[in-house]
Amino acid sequence: MTTLDLTGDVVELTRTICDIPSVSGDEKALADAVENALRTLPHLEVLRDGDAVVARTSLGRPTRVVLAGHLDTVPIADNLPTVLDGDLLRGRGTVDMKAGVAVMLKLALLEAPRHDLTFVFYDHEEVAAKLNGLGRLVRNHPEWLAGDFAILGEPSDGTVEGGCQGTMRVKITVPGVAAHSARSWKGSNAIHSAGAVLDILRAYVPREPVVDGLRYHEGLNAVKIEGGIAGNVIPDLCTVFVNHRFAPDRDVPAAEAHLREVFAGFEVEVVDAAPGARPGLDKPAAKEFVELVGREPQAKLGWTDVSRFAGLGIPAVNFGPGDPLQAHTDGEHVPVPEIRQALHVLLSWLS
């Protein structure tokens, strides 16, 4: 088993945890290493559920901050082990999000932080929501996650990204009438009829609402089309799959109602959905943290697990080293100064 040295350099710690492969479903080795490292710190209570590890201080502070990060990555693309290339650390997981995890592991050394701290390192973030380790903790042990403010270490270029968008996928089924393609006028081509759905999408103007001071940009896009059974058969069915990203001033029912209005007259079925999260930057701990970071906060244009904290009534933000556009790319890399700066900011805030 790889031993994690939490007392050493944060960049070397990042390399070590990146070099332990932990593609979703294969997080056990890294979770074991994280658990063993945290259990050497007597000021922490360490708990585990599957491959999710939770560690908590109990100092009687009036507020508790939750620091969370996922251990898994998308599949490796010949980009491990990591390579230190000048001021860039290259390799799978460097951005999404083991640099953030390394920063949080270093923070676990704090014996007398200003706030009580809860560290959450969890599995299965990069796959189906039903497998998500943080979601499992919410269901099985919500008391482990109790807090007044949460920071998710997702890459944000060192800027506070408040809240997150909600997401919904629907399938729109367009009927037709099957016929031989040599006598196409005897049928009704469902794929052709689906053009009306695409016309709606092309004409759609997404909202850009301001929520708690942050501007979100919504989206409505076709992401997949299915139709047809053979090269000589007029298709009697066409399905258009549509993804809707909606601002956190709408909940899931409101987003669904909106889509049913947009696609009135078509059969609309919700495939999956997840609520967004309001920024919560009006909370005292959030305000203090944003001021210390010293950059204008941005809206999170995407869905992250801050939504799960919002569901527990805990305001949460995204903050971590690395450009989120590097996540999941074959050339994934993080600037070394950003790792050190993220650690410096959080240490300054918590010490």
Active-site amino acid positions: 72, 125
216-226 burial, b if ≥16 CB within 10 A, otherwise e? Answer: bebebebeebe
Taking the C-alpha atoms of residue 29 and residue 22, their distance in angstroms, rounded to an integer, is: 8
Cβ 137 vs Cβ 49: under 8 Å:
yes
Taking the C-alpha atoms of residue 105 and residue 1, their distance in angstroms, rounded to an integer, is: 18
**Amino acid sitting at position 312:** L
CA 91, 68, 116, 319 dihedral sign is positive
